[in-house]
Amino acid sequence: MESKQKLEILSRIPKKHYLFFSLYTFLVLTFFCSLSIYLWENIKTHQITEVQKERTLNMFKEELIYNFDKNKIKSNKRILKIITDILEVDGIEVYWESEKPTLTFKVENLENKNFYKVPFFFSSKKEPPLKFIFLKLSSNGEEKSLKEGPIPFSILLIGAFICILHLSFLIWKNIFNPFFQKINSHINESSNTVSDFKALKIASEFSQKVLILVDENQTILNDQSIFSNQIFQGNIKNGDIVKDFFSKFLFLSHELSRIESSLILSFGDDTIQFSAVSGHFPKQGTLHVGNNTKHFNFFYMPLLDDHHNVKHILISLIENTEIQTLRRTINKIKKEHSIEKDILLSNHKEEFLKKIIQSKNFIGNQIKEINSKLSNEFDQSFKNMLFYELYKIIPESPFLKASIQNIKVKMERKLDIPIEYPEFPSNNESDYFYTKSLVSMKFLIFFEALCQISKTLGDFLINFKEGKHEVHHSNRFIYPIIEERLKDTFLLYKNIFEMMEVNSNEDVLKHYKEFKELEVESSLYSSLLLLKNQLVVLSYLLGASNNEALSSIFHSSSEKLNLILGRKGFTKNSISVGLFDSHKNLQLKAELINQILKTK
Amino acid sequence: MKILVVEDTEEYRKKITEALLMRGDDVFHASNGQEGLDLIRNKEDLDFIITDLHMPIMDGITMLQELKMDPNYTRNIPVLMLTTEANKELKQKGQQAGVSRWLLKPVTTQVLFRILDSIEAKL
């Protein structure tokens, strides 16, 4: 257990302090070691000499002074030798009226060896001009550097000072740091919150959004912008989010109670809990400001604490009064004109077109007006949101979408020659899109489909010729079946071709009703379907006769026809309508080419 | 997961049970807190409890408190509390009794599944 505790203590020491820790341990050990040796030596010396020291020196003091006065050094040396013998020391230094030794006596074994210096002072008040230092042979005599113990005390003191400094730092860090950290975090937190609040106010002012920060006590924390104050007719800071904010909107009491419950269940928990109850927060609200009614969209964002729990909720409100107004206008127009009806099938085509053009112009003007209003605003996202909302509410009016997108929609397929109907607008891109989307969508679908059919049939003709030649040599058992199928298919193709030729007769196509009465569309459609099936059968037969290349060509042709027949809008009815329109368009094209040729 | 649904309104209980069965859970149900308590004590392999707050005979929180006080019952099953309203006191009581998630009625299947998925991930 103890060893575990020790390990735990060691593991708590940061790695960067390992060097200091080892140095500290070394210095402490050395310090105590040196101190104990020094004290032991000192005590030992004291025990031997202290009793006799003063008495002995007093005995010789007068004689020594006399000899120094008379400059009889040899006599003094002899006296010193006697003293060393009496006091059992290894040498004596005598200071005669000086700070430097005047006379030194060392026993033979002290020469060139380390020794301690033990100073002696006379206890009498009146000190003689003599001072004595006793020399004692060091127990570790071989180390030259040890003059006053194992390590000089000055070095030990410096080491101890460093260690004390370092220890102080560690103690300061461990004891006071948490305290300072707490203060710092508090300061940072409050300064962050203050700066957050300021940022919210600025953001609210510039983006013209109401931004509200709520804490778990359901208190509004942030100062409100001028924009916000105008809406709520006063600063709602420190107010209750339900009583002072939500209740100002036209919510029923049970709705308010639900909001309050949702808020209570959101705070102090993770984002999963927030998402579980946030569905009960209102998404939209209506507010009466003076004589005006304003509509707002609500957005909620949880702000988390260090433990990833919801600490604050940021509520942002974006006004969408204009969108609501526009939505109502559009619904009104839609009701009046019912633009979803198929114009081409209507008996009052011209009247319908006029109404739609009027609607288009009206809504276009509305959008332009809103756009100009918003052009000077800071917040681009609000503008985008408005157009997104507009885009969403009119899914069945593609021409309006084109207007909203600022008439930048690029066409997948452009007609080289515009269709010149008298009641149609000019041939700019938006009007073309308008024309395509509303008036002759079916025509375009079929025109596109017709091109594909022609291509498929053309491919088939080439394949048929090549196929006939190749298949003949490939497989004699399958060949008769393939040949039979090819003949049928070729005949079918011819029939389709003839059907199309017959229907392009101008007299027949003059009037739509007459065209419809011909009832050719059903046989044309079924012929195309049959052709597709024939192509599939041929593809399999050619595959079976190891003509992979031809098989894949027929398969691909059948797939193309399948796509054409299966596409939306390509019904039996649309074939007839489309055929009529496409023929007319081809005629216009032909006329134009003729005119160009004539002028050239 | 093996889930116990404690709900007094039959229609609502049925709705939740159907949703959980669709999700592939094993569902047990009780119509009040007392029934729920008996079921919890007998079913040792329950993974999750969905309980209503206000019920006749015994409410949801009392059921959980009884369970917590029972020295023979040592399991710690996550609990989802369904309620129509909430206040701070109620939330605190529920947390002490062992409620890990709260939902306000009416609950959509999507939200319920999201909660269950998060619980299942922790199991």
CB burial of residue B67 (10 Å; 0-12, 13-18, 19+): buried
Domain regions of chain B by residue span: 2-115
Residue A65 in tokens: 């002074």
Share of chain A above pLDDT 90, in %: 1
Is the peptide bond preceding residue A302 cis, with omega within 30 degrees of 0?
no
Q: Which residues of B touch A258 (CB under 8 A)?
A: 85, 104
Which runs of consecutive H residues, i.e. helices, occur in A340-440?
Answer: 349-374, 380-393, 398-404, 429-434
Looking at residue A369, what is its pLDDT? 55
Residue A92 identity (one-letter amino acid):
I
Looking at residue A38, what is its pLDDT? 67
Looking at residue A407, what is its pLDDT? 30
**Considering chain A, what is the average pLDDT of its residues?**
64
Selecting from A265, A272, A275 the residue whose C-beta is nearest the C-beta of B104 gives A265
Interface size, chain A vs chain B, as Cβ–Cβ contacts under 8 Å: 38
Selecting from A258, A272, A275 the residue whose C-beta is nearest the C-beta of B104 gives A258
Looking at residue A53, what is its pLDDT? 77
Q: From CA A198, how far away is CA A194, in angstroms rounded?
A: 6
pLDDT interval class at A254 (50, 70, 90) = confident
Pairwise pLDDT comparison (A175 vs A226), residue with the higher score:
A226
Pairwise pLDDT comparison (A208 vs A372), residue with the higher score:
A208
Nearest Cα residue in chain A from B101:
A273
Selecting from B88, B108, B118 the residue whose C-beta is nearest the C-beta of A264 gives B88
Q: What is the pTM of this model?
A: 0.42
Looking at residue A436, what is its pLDDT? 37
Looking at residue A419, what is its pLDDT? 34
ipTM > 0.90 for the complex: yes
- Angle at CA A195, nearest 5°, toward A191 and A201? 150
Q: Which residues of A343-357 are buried (b: 16+ CB within 10 A; e: fewer)?
A: bbeeeeeeebbebbb
Selecting from B86, B91, B111 the residue whose C-beta is nearest the C-beta of A276 gives B111
CA–centroid distance for A178 within its chain: 32
**Cβ contacts of residue A375 below 8 Å, gap of 6+?**
none
Domains of chain A: 16-151 (no CATH), 189-319 (3.30.450.20), 325-418 (no CATH), 441-599 (no CATH)
pLDDT interval class at A195 (50, 70, 90) = low
* Region A432-440 average pLDDT: 36
CA A524, A529, A533, A536 torsion-angle sign: positive
List, as ranges, residues 94-113 from B with C-beta within 8 Å of A. 101-104, 108, 111
Interface test with A, best of B90, B101, B120 (most A CBs within 10 A): B101
Pairwise pLDDT comparison (A50 vs A340), residue with the higher score:
A50
Looking at residue A499, what is its pLDDT? 52
Length of chain A: 600
Residue B27 in tokens: 């569902």
Residue A75 in tokens: 């006599």
Q: Which residues of B touch A272 (CB under 8 A)?
A: 101, 114-115, 118
Q: Among A64-78, A411-425, A533-547, B39-53, which range has the highest average pLDDT?
A: B39-53
Phi, psi of A98, deg, nearest 5: -155, 165
Quote the minimal CA–CA distance from B111 to chain A in Å: 6
Do B86 and A261 lie within an 8 Å CB cutoff?
A: yes
Touching check for B83 and chain A: CB below 8 Å?
yes
Q: Which helix (H) or strand (E) holds A315?
A: strand A310-319
Nearest Cα residue in chain B from A266:
B102
Looking at residue A37, what is its pLDDT? 73
- Angle at CA A525, nearest 5°, toward A519 and A529? 155
pLDDT interval class at A468 (50, 70, 90) = low
Q: Among A5-14, A224-233, A259-268, which range has the highest average pLDDT?
A: A259-268
Phi, psi of A117, deg, nearest 5: -110, 120
DSSP string, A250-294: S--HHHHHHHHHHHHHHTTS-HHHHHHHGGGS-SEEEEEETTEEE
Q: Which residues of B touch A280 (CB under 8 A)?
A: 104
Residue A201 in tokens: 């106010």
Looking at residue A107, what is its pLDDT? 78
Q: Is A581 left (phi over 0), alpha (psi -120 to 50) or beta?
A: alpha
Looking at residue A307, what is its pLDDT? 81
Select from A357, A486, A468, A337 the least CA-distant residue to A423. Answer: A357
Looking at residue A70, what is its pLDDT? 82
End-to-end CA separation in angstroms for chain A: 110
- Does the structure show a pLDDT above 80 at A262? yes
Q: Which CATH number fits domain B2-115: 3.40.640.10, 3.20.20.190, 3.40.120.10, 3.40.50.2300?
A: 3.40.50.2300
**Cβ contacts of residue A379 below 8 Å, gap of 6+?**
A206, A207, A208, A209
Looking at residue A131, what is its pLDDT? 83
Looking at residue A47, what is its pLDDT? 55
**Distances A194 to A198, A200, B29 between C-alpha atoms, Å:** 6, 10, 51
Q: What is the pLDDT of residues A296-347, one digit of tens each?
A: 888 888 888 878 888 888 888 888 776 677 667 666 655 555 544 444 445 5
- Does the structure show a pLDDT above 60 at A442? no
Looking at residue A530, what is its pLDDT? 76
Q: What is the pLDDT of residues A537-563, one digit of tens each?
A: 777 777 776 777 777 777 777 776 666
| Spatial contact of B13 and B55, defined as CB atoms under 8 Å apart | no
Q: From CA A214, how far away is CA A239, in angstroms rounded?
A: 10
Q: From CA A4, how far away is CA A14, in angstroms rounded?
A: 18
Q: What is the pLDDT of residues A8-44, one digit of tens each?
A: 555 555 565 667 677 777 777 877 777 777 677 666 6
Quote the minimal CA–CA distance from B91 to chain A in Å: 7
- Does the structure show a pLDDT above 90 at A108? no
Sheet strand arrangement including A292-304: A210-214, A310-319, A292-304, A284-289
Looking at residue A375, what is its pLDDT? 43
Q: Which helix (H) or strand (E) holds A479?
A: helix A479-503
CB burial of residue A262 (10 Å; 0-12, 13-18, 19+): buried
Looking at residue B93, what is its pLDDT? 92
CB burial of residue A103 (10 Å; 0-12, 13-18, 19+): middle
Touching check for B122 and chain A: CB below 8 Å?
no
Looking at residue A463, what is its pLDDT? 63
Q: Which residues of A touch B101 (CB under 8 A)?
A: 272-273, 276
Q: What is the pLDDT of residues A505-538, one digit of tens each?
A: 444 344 333 333 333 344 566 666 777 777 777 7
* Region A146-160 average pLDDT: 62
Q: From CA A505, how far away is CA A577, in angstroms rounded?
A: 15
Q: Which residues of chain B have pLDDT under 70?
A: none
End-to-end CA separation in angstroms for chain B: 10
Q: Which residues of A touch B81 (CB under 8 A)?
A: none
CB burial of residue A365 (10 Å; 0-12, 13-18, 19+): exposed
* Region A88-97 average pLDDT: 83
